[in-house]
Structure 1
């Protein structure tokens, strides 16, 4: 018996199999570590989460607030940051949630943010560098940096560097850098930082920045040995967030349609960051890379190159020093 497409899609078996497949996929999206079962409390601790007004960042901040931490939301938009602050306070029952404006694409904005933090805070126990963007159009910032590299890497690098002494003073403390599995498609060319020799195809530039995130994290962890401050990087998973807002509407539409079945929610995407930030299992672990299921995995061979990591770190040190 021959079946045409109409007969196949109208057959009850199609609906049943689709329903079963949907739940299998959703079950596979669940992480091995459940933050709701983690009893760690953070009373008396201070945490900063960048990009915290939406998506993964907001759920990271919400979880930390539920643990009674003092949470600082690093946001670009005052209005959206204030809305997120109100929501997190209401849902967590924790009034100690605050907004501080920061645009990681602007080194001057990062410096102003850090100056305010250092003036107002006496400790910093957790720093989650979550802010980032994919698919940004070609552009150079007023400080001469390629906009994706400034947003995703140089800004977070400077922010962390300026807050390191406070974190050492607060040790044990944790630095969590949100990278991506896509770092495996990234390349290292230091001319990229100033917008040279770049090909803007989909998320190619984003991939380069995510590779540098891991290289920086590894070298930072090496330099912080013995201080009580750890640094780890991670892949949050393929997540339904606003990360794709800079892409063509058709690409965004396809992403959303596919994402309903295959991608993680923003809350699920926050789990691997929280695992690195609060889990007892990751206490003392540093210089490592975790996947979206909170498993310790090896990043790409390029990301594991210690010589390249040192070069990338030193290049960024010179870059931000030149902008002082």
Structure 2
């Protein structure tokens, strides 16, 4: 795996300096704020056409209109799989093949157990909605024989996930609920999704990698208890990255020529990382089980035209 010239102090603009992305098309989920907004802004700045999704069309339109370059707003509410299919339909109507698919959007509920269609909410939004989206968009990327898929994961995938990894018997609220473990589980799921997808894409020309953006000053903590929000507001500037710094890794992995053909890797601070200790980030057997479970959970949405 190539180590690059960039690190924790690099911005998304810096890692794309000198790149001309004209003629390329990217889709970025969660473009209305934070990492997704900065990712869209920089890709458009470098000449790419960027399809930016927001939870409502109005929010996506406002975000897209505020950046320089070619942007296309599309509605995508990842907790509603009908919305995922509508987003897929909108992309197909554009009659384009994606060069970059950046699965960026995510939530952290911080509170009590919530179910979406009978599935724990963070697992449904952070992982399963993206699973349905990507599987519908993959055929076009395979046909083109080129493209990069970037999954926004987190260190939480190996520091906060349940000890067993993906606890398949507790995805629908069957057992105890710990919000930190649930968030870690969803981010581990993103890493395993990327790993299994990379295996399935071998020889296709399309790559799949997962990244950790770092602790970033975004609004993901907007639903946290007041004392957490207050603490983050007061201290975030000292311990957290700005969105400009946080977006660097996903933009680098999506665009940089040095990573041509690199797939199945995990990146932090713009460099590939092998995580020591006991964890499940590279557990191929668990990744295959997760894929099968996701197919079972979303069968009707995966087979929909």
Once the two structures are superposed, the pairs formed by residues 8-23 of structure 1 within 5 Å of their partners are none
Q: Which of the pair has more CA radius of gyration? A: 1
Which 10-residue stretch deviates more, 97-106 or 114-123? 114-123
- 1:317 to 1:30, Cα distance in 2 relative to 1, 3 A: same
Q: Secondary structure at the match of 1:99?
A: strand
CA contact (8 A) 1:35 1:275 kept: no
- 1:129 to 1:37, Cα distance in 2 relative to 1, 3 A: closer
- Provide the C-alpha distance between the structure 1 equivalents of 2:259 and 2:110, rounded to a whole number of angstroms: 33
Which 10-residue stretch deviates more, 104-113 or 229-238? 104-113
Which of 84, 91, 99 aligns to 1:110? It is 84
- 1:301 to 1:36, Cα distance in 2 relative to 1, 3 A: closer
Once the two structures are superposed, the pairs formed by residues 307-318 of structure 1 within 5 Å of their partners are 307-318=285-296
Number of matched pairs: 289
CA contact (8 A) 2:194 2:209 kept: yes
Which of 179, 183, 186 aligns to 1:206? It is 183
Q: Which consecutive unaligned segments of at least 5 residues does structure 1 have?
A: 1-27
CA contact (8 A) 1:56 1:269 kept: yes
In structure 2, what is the equivalent of residue 250 of structure 1?
A: 227
Q: Which consecutive unaligned segments of at least 5 residues does structure 2 have?
A: 1-6
- Provide the C-alpha distance between the structure 1 equivalents of 2:157 and 2:176, rounded to a whole number of angstroms: 16
Q: Secondary structure at the match of 1:301?
A: coil
- Provide the C-alpha distance between the structure 2 equivalents of 1:34 and 1:115, rounded to a whole number of angstroms: 31
Which of 267, 273, 279 aligns to 1:301? It is 279
- Provide the C-alpha distance between the structure 2 equivalents of 1:297 and 1:309, rounded to a whole number of angstroms: 18
What do the CA deviations read for 1:172-217 (whole angstroms, capped 9, x no partner)?
200000000111121311133322224234x321111001110110
Q: Relative contact order (alpha carbons < 8 A, sep ≥ 6): 1 or 2 greater?
A: 2
CA contact (8 A) 1:40 1:280 kept: no
- 1:103 to 1:37, Cα distance in 2 relative to 1, 3 A: closer
Structure whose residues are more often helix by fraction? 1
In structure 2, what is the equivalent of residue 31 of structure 1?
A: 10
CA contact (8 A) 1:240 1:259 kept: yes
- Provide the C-alpha distance between the structure 2 equivalents of 1:48 and 1:74, rounded to a whole number of angstroms: 8
- 1:218 to 1:123, Cα distance in 2 relative to 1, 3 A: same
Once the two structures are superposed, the pairs formed by residues 168-179 of structure 1 within 5 Å of their partners are 168-179=142-153
TM-score, length of structure 1 as denominator length: 0.85
- Provide the C-alpha distance between the structure 2 equivalents of 1:117 and 1:198, rounded to a whole number of angstroms: 39
CA contact (8 A) 1:32 1:294 kept: no
Once the two structures are superposed, the pairs formed by residues 36-185 of structure 1 within 5 Å of their partners are 38-88=17-67, 92=68, 94=69, 96-135=70-109, 137=111, 138-141=113-116, 143-184=117-158, 185=160
Q: Secondary structure at the match of 2:264?
A: coil
- 1:204 to 1:157, Cα distance in 2 relative to 1, 3 A: same
- 1:79 to 1:122, Cα distance in 2 relative to 1, 3 A: closer
Q: Secondary structure at the match of 1:123?
A: coil
**Deviation of residue 256 (structure 1)?**
2.0
What do the CA deviations read for 1:118-150 (whole angstroms, capped 9, x no partner)?
122321110000000012542112x32221111
In structure 1, what is the equivalent of residue 240 of structure 2?
A: 263
Q: Secondary structure at the match of 2:238?
A: helix
Q: Secondary structure at the match of 1:133?
A: coil
- 1:67 to 1:33, Cα distance in 2 relative to 1, 3 A: closer
- 1:37 to 1:52, Cα distance in 2 relative to 1, 3 A: closer
**Deviation of residue 114 (structure 1)?**
0.5
**Deviation of residue 69 (structure 1)?**
1.1
